[in-house]
Amino acid sequence: TYFEDLSNDLMYEIFDYLNEYDIYESFYDLNQRFKNLLIKSNLPIEIRFPSISKINFYNYYRQMILPNRHRITLFHLTNPFTIDLIFSSSFLSLKFIRVQTLILDNMHTTYLEDIIDYTIPYYLLNLSALIIHVVDQIQVPNYFYYQIFSLQTLKYFKITCETKKDDRLSLLIDDDDDDNDDHGYSPIETLIINDCIRLDEINDILSQFIC
């Protein structure tokens, strides 16, 4: 029995054990049958980018991500240029309705505000898990954490970062501030912060949750 004689169902079972990009590299240009297996399926897929060149990434983006955007349940982005393209305005005109997990490694804070304020609420409507590794310093931690805790679909949040320590981290809501009338408790069930946080800041963080 030759490998390409295996049934489609069995091929999909084998694909479950492989990285999506490795599958693409190995099978996309092999023949039309394997290409169809990759682009004409409704099975969910997870997009994890290895360290690849820009040319290879653009090919993968055009041939696999765009036609399969309705199937993607996870994005794991590691290179700055992949983040730059994925969150560009032209790319975000296409909503990813099935994405539930977003992992951002080697993330720069220049992208964070747009991703949290704009990308997630409007284009990743079912996001339930967010994992971020920030490589530079978060300058306004109060605003950053407040926006994170305001994401209404988020159940899991993990961040590894270093925040600016000039000001005390304070997330307490001013009851006299009309802008906070719609504030509610965060739906996050699992919170992991790998950063130096003072004991007196913990109460402010816990105030955002129903304990």
Question: pLDDT, tens digit, for every residue of 82-99?
Answer: 777 776 655 555 667 899
Q: What local confidence, expressed as pLDDT, does residue 13 receive?
A: 92
Q: Nearest to residue 65, comparing CAs of 80, 87, 79?
A: 87
Which phi-psi region, left, alpha or beta, contains residue 9 (left: φ > 0; alpha: ψ -120 to 50)? Answer: alpha
Are residues 176 and 99 part of one domain?
A: yes
Give the predicted TM-score (pTM) of the model. Answer: 0.84
Question: Which pair of tokens denotes residue 63?
Answer: 């041939």
Cα angle 24, 29, 33; round to 5: 90
Question: Which pair of tokens denotes residue 34?
Answer: 């394997």
Q: Are 157 and 190 in contact (CB under 8 A)?
A: yes
Residues 6+ positions from 54 with CB-CB distance below 8 Å: 81
Amino acid, res. 147:
Q
Are residues 83 and 67 part of one domain?
A: yes
Are residues 167 and 126 part of one domain?
A: yes
Are residues 111 and 186 part of one domain?
A: yes
Are residues 22 and 113 part of one domain?
A: no
Are residues 69 and 23 part of one domain?
A: no
Q: What local confidence, expressed as pLDDT, does residue 80 receive?
A: 72
Q: Are 134 and 160 in contact (CB under 8 A)?
A: yes
Are residues 182 and 101 part of one domain?
A: yes
Q: What local confidence, expressed as pLDDT, does residue 130 receive?
A: 96
Q: Residue holding tokens 């992992």?
A: 103
Q: What local confidence, expressed as pLDDT, does residue 92 receive?
A: 58
Which residues span the domain enclosing 51?
A: 45-208
Are residues 119 and 17 part of one domain?
A: no
Tell me the mean pLDDT per 10 residues along the chain, length 211: 84 91 92 91 87 85 88 87 69 74 88 80 89 88 86 94 69 48 76 85 78 58
Are residues 197 and 107 part of one domain?
A: yes
Are residues 187 and 108 part of one domain?
A: yes
Are residues 95 and 164 part of one domain?
A: yes
**CA distance linking residue 122 with residue 16, whole number of Å:** 30
Are residues 97 and 29 part of one domain?
A: no
Number of domains within the chain: 2
Q: What local confidence, expressed as pLDDT, does residue 166 receive?
A: 63
Domain boundary among 41, 57, 73: 41
Identify the helix (H) or strand (E) that includes residue 36.
helix 32-39
Q: What local confidence, expressed as pLDDT, does residue 133 receive?
A: 92
Q: What local confidence, expressed as pLDDT, does residue 58 receive?
A: 86
Q: Nearest to residue 100, comparing CAs of 77, 127, 119?
A: 127
